Amino acid sequence: MVRTREQAQAVREAKLDELHERLTGAVEQLVSGDDWSRAIAFAARFRARSFSNTLLILAQHAGAYEVGRVPEPFPSYVAGYRRWQGLGRQVQKGQPGYQILAPVTGRFASSNPADAESWRRLGKGEKSRPGEMVRSKMVGVRPAYVWDASQTSGDPIPEPPAPRMLEGEAPVGLWEGLVAQIEERGFEVLRVPHEGMIHGANGMTDYTAKTVAGREDMDPAAQTKTLSHELGHVLMHDPENEDARQHRGIGEVEAESVALMIGAAHHMDTSDYTIPYVSTWAARVDGTEPVEVVKATGERVRKTALAILDQLDTAQVADGTPPGLDYETPQRDRSARERPASERSTPGRRMEPLPEPSARPAGASAPAVAQERGL
């Protein structure tokens, strides 16, 4: 049966509606339950995927495990049908894939790239005019399918060594790498003898004095975890940052979630991470549904943690992409820290952002609080 373009579009829209409904259900479970830490730790092992796609994969794999289609409760590596074939593996007969949201991109051209209004979308096969710059931009999403490694068979999957630490031990090089990133942003790292010097907290970021302070009377793992929490504040919650003003009510949740992702990516024990109940903090953003707050928070946390991890020369757990698919996820190397985050962190085709109007809303002002205390 040959489908018309309208019929194909209707099928795609129906699949997208189903996907969005499934995603909303997964997020609602987070809002009504206490699994945020579990979801963030899981996202650390699938950090090449968007937070929404991570939740979709987790929910669908759990369903497959319940009915006995997969042997383990959590997925290991996921990839598309052709990707698995490229690794000498084949999706097993009768194994339905997990639906995810894949980007649809469009090509835009401009003779004045700095002017956000000058960009025009190119039609299929259309060439740019002389002197124009061409960039790709995400314009929508489409349904796509991936399969877990356990749903495939064929050539063995090489397992990279996973970092392991003794209790209280910090990953080799992590403290130094975090300090370097904090100092690159103009902050000084201070170690204080006890929490009494920083108002009873484990760590504190002072945006006015440009300092990050942390207790030195904790074991190395705890000190490193606190430092990653404070780096999350440095990157996400500067009082001059408009986004930080909009979401300052959940700043501690975001910073602690960044720390959790960094720890999980280094195989650190994350069982002692304490994050406030989701239904409480997600309701703190006025005028926004908690489900949307959770999705937005998860993606901000993922992008921030990914930018940090991508600049670290440390042994990290795999990111959910099967080893050998370097063309899907660019290989990390020492030159990564010299490349912009947009180049380092985006799997697949690089998409340059188009300029956006950046006017500050009328009457907006920076919050009075100029410090962030760690949990």
Residue 47 contacts residue 265 (beta carbons within 8 Å): yes
Residue 341 lies in a domain: no
Cβ contacts of 263 within 8 Å, gap of 6 or more: 44, 225, 228, 269, 270, 273
Give the per-residue pLDDT at 323: 84
List, for residues 240-272, the tens digit of each pLDDT value. 877 666 666 788 899 999 999 999 999 998 887
Is pLDDT of 331 > 50? no
> Is there a single domain that holds both residue 119 and residue 213?
no
List, for residues 289-317, the tens digit of each pLDDT value. 889 999 999 999 999 999 999 999 999 99
Residue 319 contacts residue 46 (beta carbons within 8 Å): yes
Q: End-to-end CA distance of the chain: give it in Å, rounded.
A: 60
Strand order in the sheet with 371-373: 188-192, 211-215, 203-206, 371-373
> Is there a single domain that holds both residue 17 and residue 82?
yes
List, for residues 192-201, the tens digit of each pLDDT value. 998 888 988 8
| Alpha helix positions (H), the chain | 5-32, 36-44, 51-66, 81-86, 174-184, 220-236, 242-246, 251-265, 278-281, 290-310, 341-345
Residue 343 lies in a domain: no
Judging by DSSP bridges, how do beta strands 211-215 and 203-206 pair with one another? antiparallel
> Is there a single domain that holds both residue 199 and residue 58?
no
Residue 309 lies in a domain: yes
Residue 366 binned pLDDT confidence (cut-offs 50, 70, 90): very low
Give the per-residue pLDDT at 330: 37
In our burial notation (b when 16+ CB lie closer than 10 A, e otherwise), range 40-71 reads bbbbbbbbbbbbbbbbbbbbbbeebbeeebbe
Distance of CA 363 to the CA centre of its chain: 32
Residue 355 lies in a domain: no
**Picking from 21-30, 161-170, 208-217, 340-349, which range would have the lowest pLDDT averaged per residue?**
340-349
Total structural domains within the chain: 3
Is pLDDT of 361 > 50? no
Is pLDDT of 347 > 60? no
Residue 287 binned pLDDT confidence (cut-offs 50, 70, 90): confident
List, for residues 156-172, the tens digit of each pLDDT value. 998 777 666 667 889 99
Give the per-residue pLDDT at 271: 80
Residue 139 lies in a domain: yes
pTM for the predicted model, two decimal places? 0.79
List, for residues 138-155, the tens digit of each pLDDT value. 999 999 999 999 999 999
Distance of CA 145 to the CA centre of its chain: 20
List, for residues 51-80, the tens digit of each pLDDT value. 999 999 999 999 999 999 999 999 999 999
Mean pLDDT of 208-236: 94
Residue 223 domain boundaries: 174-333+368-373
C-alpha R_g of the chain: 22
Residue 306 lies in a domain: yes
List, for residues 314-328, the tens digit of each pLDDT value. 999 989 999 876 544
d(CA 165, CA 172): 9
- DSSP annotation string for 206-264: ETTTTEEEEESSS-HHHHHHHHHHHHHHHHH--TT-HHHHHTGGGHHHHHHHHHHHHHH
> Is there a single domain that holds both residue 292 and residue 183?
yes
CA nearest neighbour of 258 among 238, 234, 242: 234
> Is there a single domain that holds both residue 201 and residue 130?
no
> Is there a single domain that holds both residue 196 and residue 75?
no
> Is there a single domain that holds both residue 108 and residue 218?
no
List, for residues 225-234, the tens digit of each pLDDT value. 999 999 999 9
